[in-house]
Every structure is written in structure tokens, then in C-alpha cells.
Structure 1
Amino acid sequence: MNTTSAAVAGAAVFVWLGMVLAISFLEAPLKFRAPGVTIPLGLGIGRIVFRALNLAEAVLAVVVLAAVAAGGPGAAVVVATAAAVAVLAVQLGIVRPRLNRRSDRVLAGEQVPRSSAHWYYVGLEVIKTVVLLVLGVLLLSV
């Protein structure tokens, strides 16, 4: 893989990784511990924050895809890139819509049972974090 493409892709990967770590593993759980933050308020904030995060992730994924495609990557970089993009696609296309429907109901005042969709999203975030770290290291080794 050429060094320019690897540098661009690597920078985008590490920005993406930092955003996921900061939002998903720091901001999201901590906001519910703040004084006066109710479940509906936390959900409302979370929806706005995760909408922005997911938009930024989609843009970064496109940058990574373009840089990797232009750089003549090895198989490991291609697999890691595909895995990161696939996890994001599952989150955005399958899990997030389920979470949004549930949070719509909570914000409308309904009492709804706990959902396992949140745990699927968290599990996918962990997988995505590991994949992005591996991809970033692979790109640094070019």
C-alpha cells in the first residue's frame, strides 16, 4: 500500500476510533450519572449525540474506503476495512432503527420493557473498536 493512502486512511481510522471511544464508552454511560438527568432526557441527548457520531463515522468510513482503495492494500487491510464498514452498516441499518423505535416509545411516555438491542449495539461497538485498532496498526506498519 502506498504511504500517502496509508497515512490518510490511518489518520481517519484513529479519529474514528477516538470518537467511538469518547462517545460510546465515556459520554454515553456517564450522562446518566449526572444529577437531574432522567431517562427521557438522557435518551433525547443520546439520540442527538449518536446521530452526529454515526454521521461522522459514515464520513470517516468513506474516507477510509477511498484511501484504502486508492492505495493498493494488502489482504489484511482489505479484510479489516471491510469488517469495520460492515459493523457500522449493521449498527446503522439494523440495530439503530430498533433502538430509535424503542426510544420513541419511551419519549412518548410509554413504559416499555428493557430491550436487548442496546446490548447488541454495545457488542458491535466493542467489535468495531478492536477492528479499528487492528486496522490502524496495520496502516501504521505500511
Structure 2
Amino acid sequence: MNHTAASVTAAVAFVWLGMVLAISFLEAPLKFRAPEVTVRVGLGIGRLVFRALNAVEALFALVVIVTVATGAPSTAVAALTAAAAVVLAVQLAAVRPALNRRSDRVLAGEELPRSRGHLAYIALEAAKVVVLVALGACALAA
């Protein structure tokens, strides 16, 4: 992989990683522990934050895909780029819509049990963290 493509790929992967860690594993769970934050308020904030995060993630994925595609990547970098894109696509196409429908119901006042969809989203976030660490490291080693 050429030096510029490798550097851009690593930089974007690690910035993307930092955003996922900060928002999904720090901000999201902590907001519900803040005084006076109700489930409704937390859900409203969460929807806005995750909509923004996912938009930035889609942009990062596009940048990485284009950079990798034009940079003569190793097999590992190409596979990890595909894995990151697939995880994000599953989150956006399968898990987020279900979570949005559920949060619509909660925001409308319905009492619902804990969501398994959140567990799926968290599992995908954890997988994405592993993939992004590996992608950044492999790009730097290229």
C-alpha cells in the first residue's frame, strides 16, 4: 500500500475508533446516570447523537474505501476495510431501524421491557472496535 493511502487509512480508522469508543462506550451509558435525565430525554439525546455519529461513520467508511481502493492495499487491509463497512451497514440497515421503532414507542409513552436490539448494537460496536484497531495497525504496517 502506498504511504499516503496507508497514512490516510490509519488516521481515519483511528479517529473513527475514537469516536465509537467515546460515544458508544462512554457517552451513551453515562447520560442515563446524570441527575434529572429521564429515559425519554436520554432517548431523544441518544437518537440525535447516534444519527450524527452514524453519518460521520458513513463518511469515514467512504473515505477509507476510496483510499484503500486506490492505494494498492494488502489483503488484510482490504478485508478489514470490508469488515468495517459490513458491520456499519448491518448497524444502519438492520439494527438502527428496529431501535428507532422501539424508541418511537417509548417516546410515545409505551412501557416496554429492556431491548435486545441494544445488545446487538453493542456487540456490533465491539466488533467494529476490534476491526478498526486491526485496520489502523495493518495500514500503519503497510
Q: 1:112 offset after TM fit, Å?
A: 1.6
- Letter in structure 1 aligned against 2:70: A
- Tell me whether 1:22 sits opposite 2:22 in the alignment: yes
For 1:108 and 1:139, the matched residues in 2 are separated by: 46
- Give the distance between the partners of 1:56 and 1:81, measured in 2 at CA: 16
Deviation at 1:128, TM superposition (A): 0.3
Task: Tell me which residue corresponds to 2:90.
Answer: 90
Distance 1:36 1:113 in 2: 21
- Unpaired runs of 5+ residues, structure 1, are none
What stretches of structure 2 of length at least 5 have no aligned partner? none
Partner of 1:4: 4
- 1:122-137 matches, within 5 Å, as 122-137=122-137
Scaled by the length of structure 2, what TM-score is found? 0.99
The C-alpha deviation readout for 1:19-50, integer Å capped at 9, x for no partner, is 00000000000000000000000000000000
Percent identity for Structure 1 against Structure 2: 65
Give matches, 1:1-142, under 5 Å: 1-142=1-142
TM-score, normalised by the number of residues in structure 1: 0.99
Q: Deviations over 1:72-92 (max 9, x none)?
A: 001111110000000000000
Give the number of equivalent residue pairs: 142
C-alpha deviation, 1:10, in angstroms: 1.0
One-letter code aligned to 2:67:
A
